[in-house]
Amino acid sequence: MSNTVHFQARGRTVVGCTLLVIALGASVTACTGGDDHPLSAAPYDAAGQISFNGPTDAGKKADPDKPLEVVAEGADGRITDVTAVDAAGRYVAGELSADGARWHSTSPLAAGARYTVRVSTEDGDGAPGRKVLTFETGMPSAKKTLDVAFGPKAGAYGVGQPVTAELSQPVADPAQRAIVERALKVRATPAVEGAWHWVDDKKLHYRPKEYWPAHATVQVTSALSGIKIGDRLWGGKAEPLTITTDDRVVAVTDAAAHTLTLFKDGEEVRRIPVTTGKPGFETRNGVKVVLGKEPFVRMRSSTVGIAEGSSESYDLPVYFATRVTWSGEYVHAAPWSVGSQGSANVSHGCVGMSTANAEWFFGAVQEGDLVEVVNSDGETMEPFGNGFGDWNLDWAKWTTGSALTGGAGGTTDQDAARLRPTVV
């Protein structure tokens, strides 16, 4: 946007007004008739008072790499307000100088967009002026496109399910991360406080301060399309996502008491005797999110680094397996350990229960429900890299991973994630 365009002023007459205050009295002499007051006049065409750096020739388009500027011309007028919005309803943030002489955009313009700019002014006598400007932006000559894929798939989930955003291009710069994050919108009904957290340069997770409300609707959208993010990097496509939540289901496993208690909307539903990880294979403490359910899994120790033929090796058919980590931690049927369930921890890290109880639990939970382990001698569930351990970060720590509220816009917690064997 390199051409400065000036608009021709039209003639106008402004009727002045004298304001007289009488001492010791409440009398005020004002203009006769409201129609004579400058503020009651219809706004005039302020074309002669402003210029902007947009194209006016038919077919010519503005460069989206350059900011938008609106300037007050002459010494007897000033800009009072500017709004700039594209056809998709995206507003351009801007800053007006203290003297009203200049307004400039502070957020990027979109490429391939049509903008409407509404400018309000006033002249030296306070008479209001208005001008509406329109222009289109072109496409950058060379660019990379950043597409966004939201997760999980559309559907119903438990109240612990985080929203994820996978980027097609890495974004490491904090200022660029802020542009991306600001454009990724999450709206929940009922509304809750929440924030994005940068897991790495290409992945973000979003969660509320507390769990999602039961029976909520969560809508996820992106306003990045056509927005400049960085040098030759522009926002691309993203399919919107809608998920809903069901009842609040939380299963609390007490490793010391050898029980799993399932709560639904705060009410205890069932208490089940279980076994958890034995010494050396302790079940992780902390909050885990159900990742999926598998009616049958063949569990072999060799897949998690335990040598075949060793004292800890196993090869077992496992039924009604509810997965809570990618490294192989499940809540599942363990008929071979029924004698220890409720009294001792003998597993390799999973939560084991009878086949009947495992079948019931399998039917009672879904993806996004919560499994919380307490009183284990194990380490705490990793926040990232081995499932959804997002809830193991308190809110203050979570928000440090936001480019908008946390400053650094990232975390190194995933570097410490360890996928150690925890199965059977």
Active-site residue set: 332, 350
Strand positions, DSSP E, 3-87: 5-6, 20-21, 28-29, 44-45, 50-52, 69-72, 77-86
Distances (CA, A) of 217 to 183, 195, 213, 388: 20, 16, 9, 20
Q: Give the 3-state secondary structure of residue 235.
A: strand
Angle at 172 between CA 170 and CA 178, to 5 degrees: 105
Closest listed residue to residue 140, CA positions, set 52, 67, 228, 223:
228
Other residues' Cβ atoms within 10 Å of the Cβ of residue 34: 9
Helix (H) or strand (E) holding 358: helix 355-364
Closest listed residue to residue 359, CA positions, set 299, 423, 295:
295
Q: State whether the Cα torsion 3-72-12-120 is positive or negative.
A: positive
Chain centroid to CA 407: how far? 16
- DSSP letter string, 366-392: -TT-EEEEES-SSPBPPSSSSS--GGG
Dihedral pair phi/psi, residue 326, rounded to 5°: -75, -20
Q: Give the 3-state secondary structure of residue 184.
A: strand
b/e burial code for range 389-402 (CB count within 10 A of at least 16 → b) = bbbbbeeeebbbbb
Q: Are the C-beta atoms of residues 363 and 327 closer than 8 Å to each other?
A: no
